[in-house]
Each structure stands twice: as structure tokens, then as C-alpha cells.
Amino acid sequence: MIMRRLLPAFAVMTLMLSASLTSYAQKNLVRDVDYFPRSEVYLQYGTPSLMELTTILSPDFHSELANGEARNQKFSGIAGVGYNFFVHPRVSIGLDFGYGYGSADMYMGENSETGPAGEPKYVCRATVMSYSGHLSGAFTYWQQGPMECSGALYVGVSYMDESVVNAESDELVPNDHINFSFHITAVKFRYGDMVGGFAELGFGYRGLLNVGLSIKI
């Protein structure tokens, strides 16, 4: 008797639960169609930046080295971390930070008064550490499954910690300054959904070739 009285209630509850589950599934199906990741964080490593190369390789790095040359050049490349916020499935704005290090032994040319002709003389060791920060805008122009290609523009500042150590006196001559910096990524290829790897080619302060890992959430 009790079960007979409860059956209509169970039936109504079952129908209500079924309707609720159907409505929930429909809403989530629509949400999944419209959904796209809003945030991306990444780590990357790249070849030496434009600033490192031009600073160390330039004979004007030290005022006395008009006829100088650089030897034993070492470059760390650029290590960076960044964040992107997607305002559209194909458009993002972001912020990134990078660090790089370079050094070289500087020699005076054979026409220098500091050494015999034909025997370049070791004069100093030059080092440069760069710290950069950029605001960015990126556009994904091709996407197929887990693969995508994009381009980006970065604009910001770079703090250059330059120094020269004189070979004879061990005197340290610092030359710190802040520069306007930029970077243009012509093509960035990424493979992966939530977690993916990427490689990019560009020109500027982030390195000529970059590789890294990113997470989209």
C-alpha cells in the first residue's frame, strides 16, 4: 500500500530529474561550443637577443676600442616567462619578462699604440646582462585541431647592466642604462591543447629563435 502511494511521487521526481539533466546537458553543450581558454602561461628559451649581439659585437662598446675586436664571446641566450589573456579565440594581450647574459674579451687592433704591430693586445673583458619586460598583442591566423600559427608584436623596456673590467688595473667601469625595446614574432607554431610546445621565429629583444612550453586554462 505504501509503495503504491509512493510510486507517483517517484515518477514525478524521476521526470523532474530527467528534465533537469537534459536542460543541464543542453546548457553545457552550448557553453562548450562557445568556450575558449582565457589564460596562457609559458616558459621559453631563445637564442641571443638583438641587444646582446649588437652590444658585445660592436667595437664601440668601450670608447677606447675604435680598432678593437671581440674574442671568446659567450651568450646565454634569453630565458623568459610570460602570460597571455585571450579576449577572443584568436586575439590575446600579454606581459612577458626575459633575462640574458653575454661576455667577450676585447682586444686592440694592430694599429693600436698599446701593442706591437701585428699583435693585438688584450685590453678588457666586457659583459652585459639584460632584463626586459614587454606588453604584447598576438593574433592566431591559422588553427587546425591542436595545431596553430600566430604572430605577435612586443613593446617595452630593457635594462642593460653593462660593465668593462680593465685588464691592467682590474678597474670596473659600469655602464647601466634603460632602452626602449621591441620584438616582432613573424611566425609561432604551437602544438597541443591545454599543454603544448611551441617554436617561434622573430626579430628583436626576445631572441631570433625561441622554443618553450605553455599551459592554457
Residues contacting 193, CB < 8 A, separation 6+: 146, 216
Q: Which of 96, 98, 80, 92 has the alpha carbon at shortest distance from 39?
A: 92
Q: Are residues 209 and 119 in the same domain?
A: yes
pLDDT of residue 132: 93
Q: Is the pLDDT of residue 119 over 80?
A: no
Q: Are residues 127 and 173 in the same domain?
A: yes
Q: How many domains does the chain have?
A: 2
Q: Are residues 76 and 9 in the same domain?
A: no
Go through 8-44 and write b for each residue having 16 or more CB atoms within 10 A of its CB, e for each that does not: eeeeeeeeeeeeeeeeeeeeeeeeeeeeeeeebebeb
Helices in the chain by DSSP H: which ranges? Answer: 2-34, 50-57
Helix (H/G/I), strand (E/B), else coil: 40: strand
With contact defined as beta carbons under 8 Å apart, do 129 and 91 qualify? no
- Average pLDDT (16-24) is 48
Q: State the residue for C-alpha cell 652590444.
A: 55
pLDDT of residue 43: 96
Among the residue ranges 44-53, 175-184, 207-216, the one predicted with the least confidence is 44-53
Kindly indicate the confidence band of residue 187, based on its pLDDT and cuts at 50, 70 and 90. very high
Q: Is the pLDDT of residue 62 over 60?
A: no
Instruction: Report the CATH number at residue 196.
Output: 2.40.160.20
pLDDT of residue 94: 97
Q: Are residues 26 and 108 in the same domain?
A: no
Q: Is the pLDDT of residue 112 over 60?
A: no
Question: What is the rounded distance in angstroms from the CA atom of residue 177 to the CA atom of residue 186?
Answer: 28
Kindly indicate the confidence band of residue 67, based on its pLDDT and cuts at 50, 70 and 90. low
The burial class, CB within 10 Å (0-12 / 13-18 / 19+), for 104 is buried
Residues contacting 16, CB < 8 A, separation 6+: none
Which tens digits make up the pLDDT trace of 22-40? 554 454 444 444 678 899 9
pLDDT of residue 97: 95
Question: What is the rounded distance in angstroms from the CA atom of residue 90 to the CA atom of residue 112?
Answer: 57
Q: Is the pLDDT of residue 63 over 90?
A: no
Q: Are residues 95 and 73 in the same domain?
A: yes
pLDDT of residue 165: 86
Helices in 72-196 by DSSP H: which ranges? Answer: none
Q: Which of 205, 172, 180, 207 has the alpha carbon at shortest distance from 62?
A: 172
Q: Are residues 199 and 209 in the same domain?
A: yes
Q: Are residues 107 and 57 in the same domain?
A: yes
Question: What is the rounded distance in angstroms from the CA atom of residue 63 to the CA atom of residue 56?
Answer: 13
Residue 112 has which C-alpha cell? 693600436
pLDDT of residue 10: 46
Q: Are residues 92 and 143 in the same domain?
A: yes
Average pLDDT of the chain, as a whole number: 79
Q: Are residues 49 and 111 in the same domain?
A: yes
Sheet strands (E) in the chain: 39-46, 69-88, 91-108, 121-144, 147-166, 172-192, 195-204, 209-216
- Average pLDDT (59-80) is 70
Q: Is the pLDDT of residue 9 over 50?
A: no
Q: Are residues 45 and 77 in the same domain?
A: yes
Structural domain boundaries, residue 157 = 36-216
Q: Are residues 72 and 83 in the same domain?
A: yes
Q: Are residues 139 and 162 in the same domain?
A: yes
- Average pLDDT (105-132) is 74
Which tens digits make up the pLDDT trace of 122-177? 888 888 898 999 999 999 999 999 999 999 999 999 998 888 888 777 778 788 88
pLDDT of residue 178: 92
